[in-house]
Amino acid sequence: MKEYNISKIIKWVGFILAVVVVFYFVVTFYAVNQLTDNSIASVSNRLAADADNISWTLEGVHAMMLAEVGFDTDLDKLALADEENLSIDEFAMKNRIKTMITNWSRELSFAVHYAIYFPGNGILIDDCSTNQEYDLWRSVKDEMIQMLETLEFASGWNVVSLNGEYYLLDITFNTNRYMFSYISLREVIDSIESEVYGENYYFTLIDGENNAFYNRERAADDLITVLAEDTEVVEKNLLEQKLIVKYNLTENIYLVLVMYDYNSVLNVFWMQMFFVILMLAAVILIFLILRIINNTVLRPIRLFNENVETLKNDDVYDIATHYQINELGNASKLMYNMVERIKILKINIYEKNLEQQKAQMDFLSLQIEPHFYLNCLNLIYNMAQMEQYKQIQYLLNCISKYLRYIFKNRDGLSNVREELEHVKKYLEIQKIRYGDCFEFHIDMDEKLWEFELPPLILQTFVENSIKYTINWEDDIEIRIIGKIDGEMGVMIIEDNGDGFDREILYKLDRGVDISEGKYRIGIMNAVSRLKLAFGNSAKICFYNREKGGAGIKIVFPCKKDEVN
Amino acid sequence: MMKRKRYLTVLLIGLAVGITLTGCKEARTGSDSGVEDTEESYTVVMGYIGDKQPDEEMIEAEINKILEPELNARLDLRAFSWSGYQQELQMILSGDAQLDIVPVIISHAAGYVSNDQLIDLTDLIDQYGTNIKSLLDEDFIHCPRVGDMIYGVTTMREHISWEGIIMRADILEELGYQVEDNRCSEFTSIEQLDELFARVKEAYPDMVVLASTAGSTPLFRWEVFDILTDGFGVLMDYGQSVEVVNLYETEAFVEFANRLYEWNQKGYLAKDAATTTESLQNQVKSGAAFAYFTPQKVGAVEQDELATGYDLAMSAVMGDPFTTSYSINFMTYGIADNSGDPKKAFQVFDYMYGSSKIMNLLNWGIEDVHYQVIDDEKGAITYADGVTAETTGYLLNQGWQLPNQEIAYVWEGESSDKWEVQREYVAAAERSKAFGFSYDTSVVSLQLTALNNVKYQYFDAIGSGSVNPAEVLDEFNQALYDSGLQDVIDEKQKQLDEWLANK
């Protein structure tokens, strides 16, 4: 499994994030700038188009009125007519004019109203066709006629208040008639209301003296310096999100747009900023959390791991009590306790093992057949019959020493010298028993004396040799040779009997148990005891000599030296 | 739109691309659960003159719920505007577009008939006109005729001519006149109005005493003769004379025209009395005018009180109600010659005369959607909750134009017994000698066109008192004769004489 280094990843992620954020800000700033410019341009263009449209309409209306009514010489007849006593022609003419201006008032996107007034005879022609238009006309006509008496302004469009509402009014005079064209400001502005300008905006009209005529209350605060500026975009306030744009409608009337939240892009930008900051905060928070987790969890876990690792190598466990996490601390304590208990258990098991081995040794020691003792007793009995008292004394001395050695309470191993002494005693006993039936030779390097062997090993093999070779007929020779080969001691027991049975030898070579019931236990015991005492460092080898007879070679380490 | 685009752009650049996608999932709406009849039901297209109502389709659906099981027919309404119906109807009738039930205004009837655009209803009325026959007087059924052919069936409305004057009751009372039950019985003739008008003018110098409007001048309302379809050649004396005469040369007319001129000179009428298009009611409502001539329909005063906001009183200053063919024939419904199933169309038409549900649907819309019943006993209704005159999706309010408004609800404020009273008036009305006669205009159609042009030139000017009759009447009559007035009078007299002889 691939391993991840968290802090490295965090560093990389942080770096990439920083690059992305920087890139994001650059792009966003660029986009916001572009879009802001675009949106202002689009608003400004739209307003320019609207203003031009209105402007043209106003010019057109003025021109049309003058051309169609002002210069219509037929109408001079109406100026001379007696309103109380119209001729049918005059009546028809009046009707024609009314129909004409009524049709005009329907032609434009906002209702421009017209009226013609002949001051000479008081004939007044309106353009009304619906009840509402008559209501409106009735509300403004008297004021308009009165205005003529104190006509201050020049011909052309002006903003006037009629019956409490503002109108764009154009009064033109030609020879004998006044021509009125008037538009409710509300209508004009309604006609250019558009969602292009967003949701929070308003229009107003101002004149050359900065007087606002529409949305007066709102305009009062916003428009203070509108006229001071020459440019179309009068004010562009990013913070307040306020945009003021003005356009000329006529010589001294401006259409002004005050737009709030004009830069909806900016809102999006702020919103995004907020999200980005939120994201960064989240990333930093995650980083901090990771740090904390690293400090409080990962590192202790690593430490814990290392401790466990040393435990594996050195059998030592450091409890490392500075763990911040309770669970880990507890686990560590538990681990420590466990390790301690395991140690104790190990020692216990080891000791038990030793005890077991000892018990086995003891048991094995006791495996020595009682046959020998019975034979000895028989021998003593026979010797006593034959009154060989000297020999009996000697024999008994030997037996007692022999038995003493056997029953000697011993711990572990006995040295070769003692062992050899014991074997000599045994052989002498057997010599007494068998007489000249066999000879034995001991050739022992003295340096071997202090080597140690499991007790009675040597006797086991010698005993075995005697048991299987002595037949009262042949001259049996048993040789015991001890020497040192390097660090190892070598003990060889040879005879000149029949040698090992082939099958037995085969089995012994492969370490197969050859014991059958009580038989051949001795050899197997000796083999396992050697193994117990020296493990694999001791070797035992069974062979048949070339000249006939069996041989046993024991190679074993100098136990005594090791202890020293 | 732009704004949204800008958002989108930035969002694409920015992070929250996903947000914009949420709107894309468009639920499929609408189901195909419409009931499809296995039998083919015939869709009857019925025209009416008026503005198309926004919720027309809803109304049609409701009506079809009634018509389909009853007659295996469906109704499709087709609105014709008052300003353009003449051309539109002519186009449809001479073309292939389907129109089964045709609204026929009296002046066009002869034209439709001579062009074979309408069918003879005599047999259909006989066979299927169950409701029509039970509701309409036999004479009324036989009245809308050209020659022997019945071209149309009139609607249940005031089949009388009975003009009167409606005045501001508060001013009348202020001047000491008795007003009772929306009527002022002190004035029974036009002459008596001179004094009243003088007093009103004195008390309210700025006020227009008698309102007038283009096309509805006081003269237009002066109905004391049988107009004989078009007014070019009339029967004087409320149609009791059988001599066709030129109205504009009669003594009565000259007298009334002079009176109007006199009233105008005295400032009783507005200076734009002939040209204004402001409704008479609105002139009173605005406080500018005191009175106006108007038909004395049942409920007219109540209706106008709502329209003007003033208490009003009516006086019958132009005599008693009388009935002419014009009253019956002014507006009728015929069956188009190119109708796919004239029989079915007529059955549907006749069925409507007896179905109050359909009448209510046609005139007022759907209950609790467009209107609600506020007085079950009187059958009075008003706007449904949350609905106003401005917001309602359906309010035809053209009862007179519908087959049988009498079985429909009445609007709040109208008297519930108006139809009974109206029936009494109709029954009591004196009938013109030429009642039941309608002349075949097709032989003089050219003259009529010219005459109408002349009339248009003079009628409102004279009718509003704007011109001096002494100066223009001769000129007017001369222009009429120049345009063939005598031909029309002669033709009318000839046909009338024939008709009277066969009566």
Q: CA of A246, closest CA in chain B: separation in Å?
A: 21
Give B109-127 pLDDT, tens digit per residue. 888 998 899 999 999 999 9
Give me the residue from B2, B276, B475 closest to A134, CB to CB.
B276
Identify the residue with better confidence: B383 or A364. B383
Alpha-carbon distance of B387 to A504, in angstroms, equals 124
Distance from CA of B283 to the nearest CA of A (A): 8
Q: For chain A, what is the mean pLDDT?
A: 81
Residue A112 bridge partners (DSSP)? A183
Question: Above 70 in pLDDT, residue A367?
Answer: no
Give the CA distances from residue B356 to residues B77, B359, B393, in Å, rounded to whole numbers and listed in that order.
Answer: 17, 5, 20
What average pLDDT does range B385-413 have in this prediction? 87
Which region among A146-155, A422-431, A441-450 has the lowest average model confidence (pLDDT)? A146-155
Cβ-nearest to A131 among B11, B279, B457: B279
> Which of A31, A84, A92 lies closest to B10 in CB terms?
A31
* CA of B34 vs chain A CAs: smallest distance (Å): 38
What pLDDT is stored for residue A21 in this prediction?
A: 82
Residue positions counted in chain A: 564
Residues of A in contact with B283 (CB under 8 A): 134
Interface test with B, best of A20, A85, A97, A137 (most B CBs within 10 A): A85
- Give DSSP secondary structure letters for B121-141: -HHHHHHH-HHHHHHS-HHHH
Q: Is residue B500's pLDDT more than 60? A: yes
> For residues B276 and B285, what is the distance between their CA atoms, to the nearest angstrom?
15
Give the torsion through C-alpha atoms of B400, B401, B403, B404, to 10 deg: -20
- What is the Cα–Cα distance from A191 to A372, expressed in whole angstroms? 140
Assess A97–B contact: CB distance below 8 Å, yes or no.
no
Q: Read off the pLDDT of each residue in B449-463 and give the average, rounded to a whole number.
A: 91
* pLDDT at res. A122: 86
Start-end of H helices in A294-388? 299-314, 326-365, 371-385
Q: How confident is the model at residue A369 (pLDDT cuts 50, 70, 90)?
A: low
State whether residue B277 sits within 8 Å of chain A by CB.
Answer: yes
Nearest CA in chain B to A274: B15
Closest of A504, A533, A506, A544 to residue A520, by C-alpha: A504
Measured in angstroms, the CA of B388 and the nearest CA of chain A are apart by: 18
Q: Of the segments A264-278, A401-415, B441-455, which one has the largest average pLDDT value? A: B441-455
Chain A residues closer than 8 Å to B466 by CB: 86, 91
Angle at B47 between CA B282 and CA B365, to 5 degrees: 65
- pLDDT score recorded for residue B462: 93
Residue A264 at interface with chain B, using a CB cutoff of 8 Å: yes
The segment with the largest mean pLDDT, out of A468-477, A553-562, B163-172, B386-395, is B163-172
For every residue of B92-112, DSSP letters joined together read: HHHSSS---EEEEEHHHHHHH
What is the per-residue pLDDT across B328-382, written as a single tens digit (0 to 9) for each? 999 999 999 989 999 999 999 999 999 999 999 999 999 999 999 998 888 889 9
Render pLDDT for A495-535 as a digit per residue (tens, 0 to 9): 888 888 888 888 887 777 777 666 677 777 778 778 777 87
Cα B12 to Cα A88: distance, rounded to the nearest angstrom:
72
Burial B66-89 (b: 16+ CB within 10 A, else e): bbbeebebbbbbbebeeeebeebb
* Range ranked top by mean pLDDT from A114-123, A251-260, A328-337, B15-24: A114-123
Do A140 and A147 meet the contact criterion of CB atoms below 8 Å apart?
no
Task: Give me the DSSP letters along A59-93.
Answer: HHHHHHHIIIIIT-THHHHHHHS-GGG--HHHHHH
B271/A195 touch (CB, cutoff 8 Å), yes or no:
no
Contact list, B10 vs chain A (CB under 8 Å): 31-32, 35, 265, 268-269, 272
Q: What is the pLDDT of residues A111-128, one digit of tens each?
A: 889 999 998 888 899 988
For A139, the closest chain B residue by CA position comes to B286
Rounded Cα gap, residues B163 and A280, in angstroms: 86
More confident of the two residues B165 and A157: B165
CA-nearest residue to A86 within chain B is: B467
DSSP assignment of A90-128: HHHHHHHHHHHHHHHHHHSSS-EEEEEEETTTTEEEE--
N residues, chain B: 503
Give the confidence band of B29 by pLDDT, cuts at 50, 70, 90.
very low
Cβ of A196 and B2 within 8 Å? yes
Q: Which residues of B touch A123 (CB under 8 A)?
A: 271
- Please judge whether B288 and A138 are an interchain contact, meaning their C-beta atoms are less than 8 angstroms apart: yes
pLDDT value, residue B381: 92
B277 to A265: CB separation less than 8 angstroms, yes or no: no
Helix (H) or strand (E) holding A318: none
Considering only CA atoms, which of B135, B108, B128, B97 is closest in space to residue B49? B108
A154 band by pLDDT with thresholds 50, 70 and 90: low
Q: Residue A94's closest chain B neighbor by CA?
A: B275
Q: What is the pLDDT of residues A436-488, one digit of tens each?
A: 888 888 888 888 888 888 877 888 888 888 888 887 777 888 889 988 888 88
Strand A233-237 and strand A539-544: the pairing is unpaired
Taking an 8 Å cut-off on Cβ atoms, the answer to whether A272 and B457 are in contact is no
A85 has a chain B CB within 8 A of its CB: yes
Contacts of B3 in chain A (CB under 8 A): 195-196, 198, 264
**Is A173 in a helix, a strand, or coil?**
strand
**pLDDT for A65-113, tens place per residue?**
888 888 888 888 888 888 777 888 888 888 888 889 988 888 887 788 9
Window from B118-127, B365-374, B419-428, B490-499 with minimum mean pLDDT? B419-428
Regarding predicted confidence, which is higher, A39 or B231? Answer: B231
Residue B477 touches chain A, beta carbons under 8 Å: no
For testing contact with chain B, the best of A25, A45, A82, A91 (most B CBs within 10 A): A91
Strand partners, A158: A169
Query: How far off is chain A from B180, nearest CA to CA, in Å?
Result: 30
Q: β-pairing, B145-146 with A488-495?
A: unpaired
User: Residue A544 is encoded by which pair of tokens?
Assistant: 């048949």
- The per-residue pLDDT for A265 is 66
Higher pLDDT: A70 or B266? It is B266
Nearest to A264 among B6, B264, B271 (CB): B6
Question: Residues with Cβ < 8 Å from A294, sequence gap 6 or more?
Answer: A6, A7
Cβ contact A32–B457 (<8 Å): no
- What pLDDT digit, counting tens, does each position of B31-49 carry? 333 344 446 789 999 999 8
Non-local (6+) Cβ contacts of A543 within 8 A are: A500, A505, A550, A551, A552, A553
How far is residue B23's CA from residue B433's CA, in Å, rounded to a whole number?
74
Strands A438-444 and A476-485: parallel
Report the gap between the CA of B7 and the closest CA in chain A (Å): 6
Within its chain, how far is the Cα of B369 from the centroid? Answer: 26
Please state, in angstroms and rounded to a whole number, the distance separating the CA atoms of residues A48 and A291.
60
SS3 A293: helix
Amino acid, single-letter form, for residue A300 = P
CB pairs under 8 A between A and B: 96
- Note whether A283 contacts B: Cβ–Cβ < 8 A: no
Cβ pair A88:B475 closer than 8 A: yes
The answer to whether residue A128 neighbours chain B at the CB level (below 8 Å) is: yes
| Chain segment B64-91, per-residue pLDDT in tens | 999 999 899 999 999 988 777 888 898 8
Q: What are the Cα distances from residue A458, in Å, to A403, A423, A465, A506?
A: 15, 7, 11, 22
* % chain A with pLDDT above 70: 88
Q: Which residue has the higher pLDDT, A323 or A134?
A: A134
With an 8 Å Cβ cutoff, are A87 and B11 in contact?
Answer: no
pLDDT at B22 over 60: no
Kindly report the average pLDDT of chain B as a whole number.
Answer: 87
Determine whether the interchain pair B10/A84 forms a contact, defined as Cβ–Cβ distance below 8 Å.
no
Compare CB distances from A128 to B277, B468, B472 and report the shortest one's residue: B277
pLDDT of residue B151: 94
Looking at residue B209, its pLDDT comes to 95
Residue A198 touches chain B, beta carbons under 8 Å: yes
Beta strands per DSSP E along A464-563: 476-485, 488-495, 539-544, 550-557
A272 to chain B: which residues are within 8 Å by CB?
A: 10, 14-16
A272 close contact with B: CB closer than 8 A: yes
Cα A489 from Cα B375, distance rounded (Å): 137
Any A CB within 8 A of B207 CB: no
Q: Which residue on chain A is closest to B472 by alpha carbon?
A: A88
On the question of pLDDT at A407 being above 80, the answer is no
B443 DSSP 8-state letter: G
Which one, of B237, B216, B239, B225, lies nearest residue B166 by Cα? B216
Look at A479 and A11; give whichever has higher pLDDT: A479
Query: How far is it, in rounded angstroms, from Cα B165 to Cα B387?
Result: 33
* Res. A357 pLDDT band, cuts 50 70 90: confident
**Structure confidence at residue B176 as a pLDDT band (50, 70, 90):** very high
Of B6, B277, B461, the CB nearest to A39: B6
Q: Does A87 touch chain B (CB under 8 A)?
A: yes
Residue-level pLDDT at B108? 87
Q: Are A523 and A413 in contact (CB under 8 A)?
A: no
How big is chain A by its Cα radius of gyration, in Å? 67
- pLDDT score of A409: 60
> A91 vs B461: CB contact, 8 Å cut-off?
yes
Q: Which chain A residue shows the shortest CA-CA distance from B454?
A: A88
Predicted pLDDT at A392: 85
Q: How confident is the model at residue A153 (pLDDT cuts 50, 70, 90)?
A: low
CA distance B288 to A214: 30
Best residue of A43, A88, A142 to probe chain B, by most B CBs closer than 10 Å? A88
ipTM of model: 0.73
